[in-house]
Structure 1
Amino acid sequence: MTSTQVSRILFEEKRAVGVEVIDKKGNKSDIRCEKEVILCAGAFQSPQILMLSGIGTEKELAKFGINTIIDLPGVGKNLVDHVWSGVSAWTRTPTNNNTLKPWNQITELTRYLLFKKGPLGNSPLTANAFLSSEDGMNRPDIQFHLAPSGIKDDYSTDIYDLKTYPWRSGLGILVIVIRPESRGFVGLKSANPLDAPLIQPNLLSNKKDLEVLKKGMLKAKKVLESKTFNGHLDGGISFPQQFDDASLEQHIKKSLETLYHPVGTCKMGVDAMAVVDPSLMVKGIEGLRVADASVMPTIISGNTNAACIMIGEKAADMILNQKLSVRP
């Protein structure tokens, strides 16, 4: 059902029996299920829907007049995401920036439509590497993305707005912390399901993440200053301009971005802060399962897409291989 928002899960005692939804006209209706409700709204809205339905910390729910079905303190906690900053340089070799010139936009669009070739057929990130921030580690803690696009050296480029990119060709290396220690949370702003949830990522709240990121930036600097790039760069590294510890920290805090891999807010486990058990069933509730990135207890060391597909397929396998009572 498109243009429809789930407002809350419906319960009979402590068993999920369906969901309440709101259509685009604001009308509410109930949808009943015969077996179970499977919540797949992601790391932000899955905990929001649980809290709106009365599953969460009793004290926090009471602030919004929501009756507690079951007190689960882990709902919305343990939010974690990959974060990154970057190193950029201008190039003699044409990159995506050159495509932004009006005539080149027409040329490259025609080239793509006719032959499916050229920069419009490429990803904005064209290469990846996994590496360790220091020697002796048993697995990587940093990921590099090579971006064939240059940005201005004054923090004025909005990477989501092509109008703010320079036409001068450049490239950058995105330095990503793939095993962050910082943890945030998702909460409620109100009891209105149409309001966005409260999202507090607490990025870099653990100082270790900042230190790992600084080490990664220095490694990216070393890559761009290698012989491989000598014939392509137009001058040295342009952004950041200084790599001493204080300047690097300031640059990171001004440019820090997430990689949009939020996980962990309905984590799976057997401890007191776990929200779902190993079969993805919400603890203390019958007929309610969560199957999305929110169930990851910790973030994986890479992109979350394939892991989310795996969670969905594993959930489907568990559902198909268990006997569920059908409601009369």
Structure 2
Amino acid sequence: MGLPAMAIVLLMALLQTGTAAAETRAFSKARDAITEPSHAQYEYIVVGGGTAGCAIAATLSEHYKVLLLERGGTPYGNPSIERLEGWADLLRDDPTESSERSPIQAFRSADGVHNRRARVLGGGSAINAGFYNRASDAEVRAAGWKPKSVQEAYEWVEERIASPASLGPWQKALKNGLVQAGVTPDNGLTYEHIQGTKLGHSIFDAQGRRHTAADLLFSANDELLTVLTFASAQRIIFNVSDENKQPRATGVEYTDSRNATHFAYLQDGFQNEVILSAGALGSPQLLLLSGIGSCEHLAEFNITCHVDLSAVGAEMVDNPINAIVLVSPNPLETSLISVAGITHEGVVIEGASGGNWTWQWPGMGQLNIFPPLERSVEMISLVQTNLQNLSSNTKEQIDQSGFILSKVYDPISSGTLRLKSRDVSQNPYVKFNYYTHPRDVETCIRGVKYLHKLLQTPAFQGFRYTTVTPIIALLYPELSSSEGERTDGAYIPDLKNRTETANWCRDTVTTIWHFHGGCVLGKVVDKRYRVFGVRSLRVVDGSTFTKSPGTNPQATVMMLGRYVGVRMLKDRKIAEETVNSRN
């Protein structure tokens, strides 16, 4: 159901925030791609300097000559990236923003949900809310990873970027409230993904400074690693001259910020490889543009098909969330996600607080304003133009609010990714098909039940109005009528009306940026992440996942980069020793 225009304008006041001066750290490993020669050779070429790419590039550079290609710039010196207080600024850009210098590339799925892709060294770890926790033991077993090596890889990452999350009054209330609502046991501070309520870790340190995956590059061998920024990979180059053998990746064609073309080739050597770490959208898109995918689909764009692999772009999944905003009578700290409630029903509850409320931007859909397909760029822009009409007093009142989300942990609904053009800078077509499977809807309804319970707990009474104030009435007119459920500060559908609750799940669905799939393990890549039907090519990133591991996946994506990199070094050493022994 819609809200009056003034209510929409008031909701948008949640965007207001301050910024803090950035703490710039020296970073000498990266240089602009315009400085690179038109042709160069390496032993490994990693495409994508994100959460997995930085980890695997740093690892391989311990012994071999590595090129890391990143289509964006560095995160260093940008206060919106480096400081917790500036985080909301990252997501405030106009959804039509197309500047290649922006660290974020907006995209809207065919479902109508607005989303964000990272375009910066460090990838998603440079633009996310910072929560860090590991995959569960069951997920490690299902992936076929060796637990001891996984443990070592996590520890390598955590030594460099992870810190205990902080607990201010709001986050403490969320933690206590979850336990009181039955999300037990209270597991305290832990890296582990286990049932109950936990205080997690964060890539923001105690001083509120972000540590991205780019920090992992400080562990690299400077003499062997080349990091190029504003280097946009266009396609993988294959040698297909021998018809009796599989195509072999021999290099990457990329362009710099001046649109000059460069070629990075693999040096001669049977162990040298190209590694795609361009993310759940970028990696399948690059495979398709390079001729790996459904031959029928590639023919639509006159792309030569090297390997007919229809699983490329399939099983695209995004974890749906639905959320409420609770306007508080008492001051709240500015906090990002620090606490997680992990239920046995497949629901995860998290929250944030304070004035940095880009989360409530109408295009994201958290405030029940517009169903996904109605979240047009024009509507969002219209709402944003009214922000300046708000009084400072109104902004201050609305900024005093907390945000609570319910996430479907392991959705069954899935979709597809396809090309829209041969221009790699343009987003591909992607549809996630949120809530098309009945079980996902049931999980959302269970999440709504937890939200109801949470708001009734003693821990949250200091953050709820006892009456419907004028501000709340404007924000949530449903609270002043017989519709919906009164929670004195937040609107949640009436659980007695199952149809209404299911529709609320569908209409307010949005993303928490945990999309994955497109190059799924076992269908596009083997257990060593080598692409089927091709030699010297791997995909190592979240596109290989069948589910988003842990509460938040960034820890496991970074771990995967380190894990696969270490394994590649060991395998190469064994292969080289075998060759030498024969000689």
* TM-score (ref. length: structure 2): 0.46
Q: Which amino acid aligns with 1:43?
A: A
Task: Kindly report which structure 2 residues correspond to 1:245-264, keeping only aligned pairs within 5 A, or say none.
Answer: 245-264=498-517
Aligned-pair identity in percent equals: 27
Query: Could you tell me which residue of structure 1 aligns to residue 527 of structure 2?
Result: 278
8 Å CA contact 1:41–1:292 kept in 2: the answer is yes
Q: 1:16 to 1:239 in 2, by over 3 A?
A: same
Deviation at 1:250, TM superposition (A): 3.2
8 Å CA contact 2:407–2:444 kept in 1: the answer is yes
Query: Could you tell me which residue of structure 2 aligns to residue 39 of structure 1?
Result: 276
Task: Kindly report which structure 2 residues correspond to 1:1-328, keeping only aligned pairs within 5 A, or say none.
Answer: 1-13=228-240, 14-34=247-267, 35-95=272-332, 119=334, 123-133=335-345, 141-149=346-354, 155=369, 166-168=395-397, 169-235=400-466, 236-243=487-494, 244-269=497-522, 274-323=523-572
Instruction: Encode CA deviations 1:160-191: one digit per residue, 9 max, x unaligned.
Output: x8x69953222232101111111111110012
Paired with 1:298 and 1:125, the residues of 2 have a C-alpha distance of 21
Query: Could you tell me which residue of structure 2 aligns to residue 108 of structure 1?
Result: none
Q: Which amino acid aligns with 1:146?
A: G
Deviation at 1:232, TM superposition (A): 3.0
Q: Which amino acid aligns with 2:428?
A: P
Deviation at 1:245, TM superposition (A): 2.3
Deviation at 1:146, TM superposition (A): 2.2
Q: Which amino acid aligns with 2:280?
A: A
Instruction: Encode CA deviations 1:90-145: one digit per residue, 9 max, x unaligned.
Output: 2222125xxxxxxxxxxxxxxxxxxxxxx3xxx32342211133xxxxxxx11111
Paired with 1:268 and 1:153, the residues of 2 have a C-alpha distance of 36
Higher alpha-carbon deviation: 193-202 or 41-50? 193-202
Deviation at 1:301, TM superposition (A): 4.1
Paired with 1:193 and 1:128, the residues of 2 have a C-alpha distance of 36
Query: Could you tell me which residue of structure 1 aligns to residue 469 of structure 2?
Result: none
8 Å CA contact 1:89–1:234 kept in 2: the answer is no
Q: 1:42 to 1:93 in 2, by over 3 A?
A: same
Deviation at 1:309, TM superposition (A): 1.2
Instruction: Encode CA deviations 1:251-281: one digit per residue, 9 max, x unaligned.
Output: 3233211111111210111xxxx00000110
8 Å CA contact 1:87–1:217 kept in 2: the answer is no
8 Å CA contact 2:248–2:536 kept in 1: the answer is yes
8 Å CA contact 1:128–1:144 kept in 2: the answer is yes
Higher alpha-carbon deviation: 306-315 or 237-246? 237-246
Paired with 2:440 and 2:514, the residues of 1 have a C-alpha distance of 16
Paired with 2:311 and 2:238, the residues of 1 have a C-alpha distance of 20
SS of structure 2 residue aligned to 1:263: coil
8 Å CA contact 2:419–2:429 kept in 1: the answer is yes
Deviation at 1:153, TM superposition (A): 6.0
Instruction: Encode CA deviations 1:178-209: one digit per residue, 9 max, x unaligned.
Output: 11111111110012223221121111121211
Deviation at 1:308, TM superposition (A): 0.3
Q: 1:292 to 1:200 in 2, by over 3 A?
A: same
Paired with 1:198 and 1:224, the residues of 2 have a C-alpha distance of 39
8 Å CA contact 2:327–2:490 kept in 1: the answer is no
Higher alpha-carbon deviation: 210-219 or 234-243? 234-243
* TM-score (ref. length: structure 1): 0.80
Q: 1:208 to 1:304 in 2, by over 3 A?
A: same
8 Å CA contact 2:249–2:273 kept in 1: the answer is yes
Q: Which amino acid aligns with 1:204?
A: Y
Q: Which amino acid aligns with 2:449?
A: L
Q: Which amino acid aligns with 1:9?
A: I
Q: Which amino acid aligns with 2:491?
A: P
Deviation at 1:88, TM superposition (A): 3.0
Structure 1 gaps, min length 5: 97-118, 134-140
Paired with 1:185 and 1:64, the residues of 2 have a C-alpha distance of 17
Higher alpha-carbon deviation: 167-176 or 274-283? 167-176
Query: Could you tell me which residue of structure 2 aligns to residue 101 of structure 1?
Result: none
8 Å CA contact 2:281–2:518 kept in 1: the answer is yes
Paired with 1:301 and 1:208, the residues of 2 have a C-alpha distance of 20
Higher alpha-carbon deviation: 247-256 or 50-59? 247-256
Deviation at 1:285, TM superposition (A): 0.7
Q: Which amino acid aligns with 1:73?
A: S
Query: Could you tell me which residue of structure 1 aligns to residue 40 of structure 2?
Result: none
SS of structure 2 residue aligned to 1:38: strand
Q: Which amino acid aligns with 1:230?
A: Q
8 Å CA contact 1:179–1:301 kept in 2: the answer is no
Paired with 1:70 and 1:154, the residues of 2 have a C-alpha distance of 45
Superposed CA RMSD in Å reads 2.5
SS of structure 1 residue aligned to 2:349: strand
